[in-house]
Structure 1
Amino acid sequence: MDDESVGMLLVFISAAGFATLGVLGIVAAEEGISIPTVLSLRFLLASAIVWAVLWYGERLTLLTGRSLRYAIALGAVGYASMSGMYFLGLEFMTAGMVGIVLYTYPAFVVCFALLVRPERVTRILLLALGLTIAGVSLITGANPAGADPRGVAVVLVGAFAYAAYITLSQRVLRTTSPEVLTAHVLPAAAVTFILVGTATDSLALPETALGWGTVAAIAAIATAVPVLTFFAGIQRLGASRASIISTVEPGVTVLLGAVFLGEPVTAAIVAGGVLIVTGVLLIQRGSD
């Protein structure tokens, strides 16, 4: 395989890995594992994997000063908020639905950018935002297969938080690599959920082999592996092309939910998902 094909494969593996998060999150809930416990273990184990890989590849750098403070804030507040809302959304909706609604975050990123530079408003971006909103409205209005409006609202908050995280992280990325930033964001997010779990008395280690296996899969398959393969793919394809390929993620989430959890796939889900992904692709084009 040539370098471009390898890059495409890496990004697809990343998207597929992230897509497993919803299904695994539902399994963890069925095993009685609390959200703070799942996310504390997720970020602790994923941190260990990412740090080990970067150290082995001699790419690990310790952040200091302002960069370190930004990274801690991004992890403890931004990434933690998105993750918490995602898992909370799974209590109201199917894994596929949560994956689709979360994928509205590029629209929020564009909105943030337009607030700073309104001159960049184009017809393509306006059309993209319209399609994204229409997709969410279709899913919510049709109320298919567990599209609880409360869940949609929760996950949209998560998408907003993720967009803010992406936007604010650009300041740190001017002086450090995405991999190194992620290596500092993950443990910061872990601390947040350890504190939340301690305050709510909801931390408890999994009691079954399935529970431990699910948490390990969330940390490795749905977090560390996709993070590392996505960055490796970017190095071969560039950020724009890698982002376009990653739009398969919500579709894979819907497929996994249908296969492993028996979640129904209705016409409204498919149509809403297509509108959102089309909007994301137009956003990529309009932002180039």
Structure 2
Amino acid sequence: MSRNMSMISIAAGAALWGIIGLFVTFLYDYGFTPVQVVAVRVSSAALLLLIYTYFNGKKDLRINWKDSHYFIGTGIISIVFFNLCLFIAMEETSIAVAVTLLYTAPAFVTIFSRFLFGELFTGNKILALAITLIGCSLVVGLIPFSGFSLSLYGVLAGLGSGFFYALYSIFATYALRKYSSVTVTVYTFVFASIAILPFAGLGDIKSTFTLPAVWLNIGGIGLFSTTLAFLLYTKGLEKIESSRASIIATIEPVAATLLSFFVFREILTSWQLAGFILVVTAVILVQRRPRSPFAKRKAS
């Protein structure tokens, strides 16, 4: 795959992540709760990834079960709670607002990495944190304050999605020291499925599973916005460095915003749009390589 095709692959994967709100919204219309949507997403993705990995490299399915704590971190603490918070935010606010709040994740990663891995605070990172804070304040209506119109529960859930999504990077950093990215991803969804399926209450809505439209949306969220998105993004990383890939991936909130406007007629105010642009700018800024640090690594 050429470098240009790799960039297209990453962009396509990010765009598929961005349209997840389409499937989530329709599943809500059929009576699914956020917990049930998370359950069908992670379980369908786990099944598809297991099948894909089995036929493309069985060695990636081998793990030492003593390392299960890695996948409890990536699968349960991160993926389950990240998805749950994201889908609650979509239900309580809007697709565009929810995905914008999700993109606070790089800011959380920056803070976590400073204290856990000793990564430097740089001018770009500090500026990105400030821009993220201002951008989110604009999106949720704190600036300019004219009465808080959004659901506080939804806003907190949106910020929670960014927090738990950031934790994935932290837990995955440790897991990737022993396993390939494919192995980590497969078992992340396997552990997530094992954790949430017993509590999802899918049996309470078993009648809805007779509807073809329900299966189309489950297939959409599991195949397109999870499995295929991951495979395309990972394939692109073969030729594109991760920092550049993260910048290309900002197509995700753009796709989500376009979807919310053209399909669901959700409209961002001018202040919210400005906040959205600031959050995306912060994500791009935090990926740039700094010239000089503001903090020095402490001696171990």
Global fold match (TM > 0.5): yes
Contact 1:104 1:156 in 2 (8 A): yes
The alignment partner of 1:243 has SS state of helix
Which residue number in structure 2 is paired with residue 267 of structure 1?
270
- Considering only CA atoms, is the larger Rg found in Structure 1 or Structure 2? 2
Contact 1:94 1:147 in 2 (8 A): no
4+ residue stretches of structure 1 with deviation over 6 A?
143-146
Matches for 1:185-200 after TM superposition, within 5 Å: 185-198=188-201
Question: What is the root-mean-square deviation of aligned Cα atoms in Å?
Answer: 2.3
Mapped partners of 1:35, 1:249: distance in 2: 21
Aligned to 1:242: 245
1:279 is aligned, of 265, 279, 282, to 282
**For 1:1-288, what aligned pairs fall within 5 Å after superposition?**
3-58=2-57, 60-116=60-116, 120-141=120-141, 147-198=150-201, 204=206, 205-286=208-289
TM-superposed deviation, 1:17 = 0.6
Query: In proportion to residue count, which structure has more helix?
Result: 1
Q: Which runs of 5+ in 1 are unaligned?
A: none
Bigger Cα displacement from structure 2, 25-34 vs 62-71:
62-71
Q: State how far apart, in whole Å, the 2-side matches of 1:119 and 1:252 are.
A: 31
Q: CA deviation at 1:269?
A: 2.7
Other structure's SS at 2:250 match: helix
Q: Over residues 136-173 of structure 1, what are the superposed CA-to-partner deviations in whole Å (9 max), with x where a residue is unaligned?
A: 00111268997433211111012111111211210110
Are residues 62 and 119 of structure 1, via their aligned partners in 2, closer, same or farther at CA, if it must alter by over 3 Å? closer
Q: Tell me how far 1:250 sits from its aligned partner.
A: 0.4
CA offsets 1:98-134 (integer angstroms, 9 cap, x no match): 1111011000000101223667122221100000010
Q: CA deviation at 1:71?
A: 1.3
Alignment partners' CA distance in 1, 2:289 and 2:151: 32
Q: Report the Cα offset of residue 178 of structure 1.
A: 1.3
CA 1:261–1:145 in 2, change beyond 3 Å: closer, same or farther? Answer: farther
Matched residues, number: 286
TM (normalized to structure 2)? 0.88
1:32 match: secondary structure:
coil
Question: TM-score, normalised on structure 1?
Answer: 0.91
Q: Secondary structure at the match of 1:190?
A: helix
* Greater Cα offset, 13-22 or 265-274: 265-274
